C-alpha cells in the first residue's frame, strides 16, 4: 500500500490526433473572424449582425500556437488560459445573445472547447509526486464536468432552446438554491424512508437466503430459477400492486425496492459462494474445518467481489425503484411525486432539479459502496491495478 506506484494511464487523445485538432481550432477561429458573432436587434427592431471581436480570436490563436510551441508546463498554462478566458468571455456575453448566437459564436465555442480538450489530455499525461498527483487526478474530471455544463448552458441559451424542453444548468442551479427545503423534504421521504430501509432489508434478506440456499442444496434448484424469473418482473407492473397492498406511505416503496434488489443479491451471493477454488476448499477439508469455519474463512471472503457487485447494482436499482413506485401513489412529498406532478405543471426546472438531486444522491451512494469495496476486495486481481 505504501509504494507510490504510477499506474499507466491511457491518453485521452491519441498522440497523432493532437496537432491536427489544434489546427482545426485555429481554422475555426479564423473563420469566426469573418462570420457574425450574433444577431442583435437594433433600435428599429431589425436584427443586425455583430462582428466577431478580433481580440477574442487573437487570444485563442495565441493559445493554440503556444501549445504547439511549448510542450512543458508553460504551454499548458497558456493553453488553459486562452481556452478559458475565451469561454469565460463568451459565457459573460451569453445573456445578451439569448437565441441570437451566430456562427462566429459557435466557432469560437468549438475552438475554445478543442483547446480545453487539449489541456485535459496534456494534464492527464503529466506525472507528479504525492498529493499533487492526487489534486491533478481530481482536477481533470472536474474540468471535464464543468465543460459539459458550460457547453450545455451555451448551446441551450445561445440557440434559444425553450426552457420547457431543456432548461440551462444555471436555471436548474438557481431553482435548486431556492427550493432547498422542498428538495430536502423529498430526499428524506424517498431516500431516507424508502431507498435506504429497502436497500438494507433487500440486501440483508438476499444474503441470508443465499446462506440458507447454500446449506440446503434443494433450495438452490427450486429458488434460483424462481429468482431469475422474479428479477425479470417489470417494476411498472409490480409498483401499483405494492401501492395497493401497502398504501401510499414509504412501506410500499420499501416493498418495491426489496422485490427489485432481493434476487440480484441472492443470485450474486450464491455465485460468489460457489466460486471458491477446489484446492482452497480441499485445504479446509484437510484441516477438518466445520461448515461455519469454511464459510467465514474461505467462501465469504472469496465471495466479496460478487457481493459488492450486487451491492453496487442494487444501489442504483433501489433508487429507480423507489422513485418509480411514487408515480403510482404517494403522499404529496417525495422525489418521484415531485417529478410526476411538476412535469404535469410544466415546471421543468424543478423536475430537473429533482433529477439532479437524485443523480447526486445515487452517485454518492454508489461511490460510498465502491469505496468500501476497494478496502475489502483490495486483494482481487481486478482491484490490484
Binding site for other proteins (CB under 8 A): 277, 279-280, 282-289, 293, 297-298, 301-302, 304, 377, 379-381, 384
Task: Please state the closest distance from residue 3 (CB atom) to other proteins, in A.
Answer: 10
Task: Please state the closest distance from residue 134 (CB atom) to other proteins, in A.
Answer: 23
Q: Which is nearer to other proteins, 296 or 364 (CB)?
A: 296
DSSP letter string over 178-242? HTHHHHHHHHIIIIIIIIHHHHHHHHHHHHHHHHHHHHSHHHHHHHHHHHHHHHTS-HHHHHHHH
Q: Which is nearer to other proteins, 52 or 302 (CB)?
A: 302
Task: Please state the closest distance from residue 221 (CB atom) to other proteins, in A.
Answer: 22
Task: Please state the closest distance from residue 269 (CB atom) to other proteins, in A.
Answer: 17
No. of helices (H) and no. of strands (E), the chain: 17, 2
The partner residues of 51 in beta bridges, in order of sequence, read 36
Of 35, 160, 153, which is closest to residue 88 (Cα–Cα)?
153
The x, y and z cell numbers of residue 233, run together, are 418482473
The x, y and z cell numbers of residue 307, run together, are 457481493
Q: Which is nearer to other proteins, 183 or 298 (CB)?
A: 298
3-state SS class at 40 = strand
Q: Which is nearer to other proteins, 5 or 129 (CB)?
A: 5
Distance CA 76, CA 175 (A): 36
Q: Which is nearer to other proteins, 206 or 305 (CB)?
A: 305
Distance CA 248, CA 346 (A): 24
Q: Which is nearer to other proteins, 243 or 311 (CB)?
A: 311
Q: Are 265 and 304 in contact (CB under 8 A)?
A: no
- Label the pairing between strands 47-51 and 36-41: antiparallel
CB atoms within 10 A of CB 318: 29
Distance CA 79, CA 378 (A): 38
Burial of 92 (C-beta count, 10 Å sphere; 0-12/13-18/19+):
exposed
Distances (CA, A) of 279 to 285, 297, 381: 10, 14, 18
Q: Which is nearer to other proteins, 38 or 295 (CB)?
A: 295
Residues with Cβ < 8 Å from 231, sequence gap 6 or more? 260, 263, 264, 267
Q: Which is nearer to other proteins, 58 or 283 (CB)?
A: 283
Distance CA 123, CA 48 (A): 41
Task: Please state the closest distance from residue 312 (CB atom) to other proteins, in A.
Answer: 19
Distance CA 72, CA 76 (A): 7
Q: Which is nearer to other proteins, 289 or 370 (CB)?
A: 289
Q: Which is nearer to other proteins, 74 or 287 (CB)?
A: 287
Task: Please state the closest distance from residue 5 (CB atom) to other proteins, in A.
Answer: 12
Task: Please state the closest distance from residue 282 (CB atom) to other proteins, in A.
Answer: 5
Task: Please state the closest distance from residue 203 (CB atom) to other proteins, in A.
Answer: 21
Task: Please state the closest distance from residue 275 (CB atom) to other proteins, in A.
Answer: 13
Task: Please state the closest distance from residue 373 (CB atom) to other proteins, in A.
Answer: 13
Amino acid at each position: 500500500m505504501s509504494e507510490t506506484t504510477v499506474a499507466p494511464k491511457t491518453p485521452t487523445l491519441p498522440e497523432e490526433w493532437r496537432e491536427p485538432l489544434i489546427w482545426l481550432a485555429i481554422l475555426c477561429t479564423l473563420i469566426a473572424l469573418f462570420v457574425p458573432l450574433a444577431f442583435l436587434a437594433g433600435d428599429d427592431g431589425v436584427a443586425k449582425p455583430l462582428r466577431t471581436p478580433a481580440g477574442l480570436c487573437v487570444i485563442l490563436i495565441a493559445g493554440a500556437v503556444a501549445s504547439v510551441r511549448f510542450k512543458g508546463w508553460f504551454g499548458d498554462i497558456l493553453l488553459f488560459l486562452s481556452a478559458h478566458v475565451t469561454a469565460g468571455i463568451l459565457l459573460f456575453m451569453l445573456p445578451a445573445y439569448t437565441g441570437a448566437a451566430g456562427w462566429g459564436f459557435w466557432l469560437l465555442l468549438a475552438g475554445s472547447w478543442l483547446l480545453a480538450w487539449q489541456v485535459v489530455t496534456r494534464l492527464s499525461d503529466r506525472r507528479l509526486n504525492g498529493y499533487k498527483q492526487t489534486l491533478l487526478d481530481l482536477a481533470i474530471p472536474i474540468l471535464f464536468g464543468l465543460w459539459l455544463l458550460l457547453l450545455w448552458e451555451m448551446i441551450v441559451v445561445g440557440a434559444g432552446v425553450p426552457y420547457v424542453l431543456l432548461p440551462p444548468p444555471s436555471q436548474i442551479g438557481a431553482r435548486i438554491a431556492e427550493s432547498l427545503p422542498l428538495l430536502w423534504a423529498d430526499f428524506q421521504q424517498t431516500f431516507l424512508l424508502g431507498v435506504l430501509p429497502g436497500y438494507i432489508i433487500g440486501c440483508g434478506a438476499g444474503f441470508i437466503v443465499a446462506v440458507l440456499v447454500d446449506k440446503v442444496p434443494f433450495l438452490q434448484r427450486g429458488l434460483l430459477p424462481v429468482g431469475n424469473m422474479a428479477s425479470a418482473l417489470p417494476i411498472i407492473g409490480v409498483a401499483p400492486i405494492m401501492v395497493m397492498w401497502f398504501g401510499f406511505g414509504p412501506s410500499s416503496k420499501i416493498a418495491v425496492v426489496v422485490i427489485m434488489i432481493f434476487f440480484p443479491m441472492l443470485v450474486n451471493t450464491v455465485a460468489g459462494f460457489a466460486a471458491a477454488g477446489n484446492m482452497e476448499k480441499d485445504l479446509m477439508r484437510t484441516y477438518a474445518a466445520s461448515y461455519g469455519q469454511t464459510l467465514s474463512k474461505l467462501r465469504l471472503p472469496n465471495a466479496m467481489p460478487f457481493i459488492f457487485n450486487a451491492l453496487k447494482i442494487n444501489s442504483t436499482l433501489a433508487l429507480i425503484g423507489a422513485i418509480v413506485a411514487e408515480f403510482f401513489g404517494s403522499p404529496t412529498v417525495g422525489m418521484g411525486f415531485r417529478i410526476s406532478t411538476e412535469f404535469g405543471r410544466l415546471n421543468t426546472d424543478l423536475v430537473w432539479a429533482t433529477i439532479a438531486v437524485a443523480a447526486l444522491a445515487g452517485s454518492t451512494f454508489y461511490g460510498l459502496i465502491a469505496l468500501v469495496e476497494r478496502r475489502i476486495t483490495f486483494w482481487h486481481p481486478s482491484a490490484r491495478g
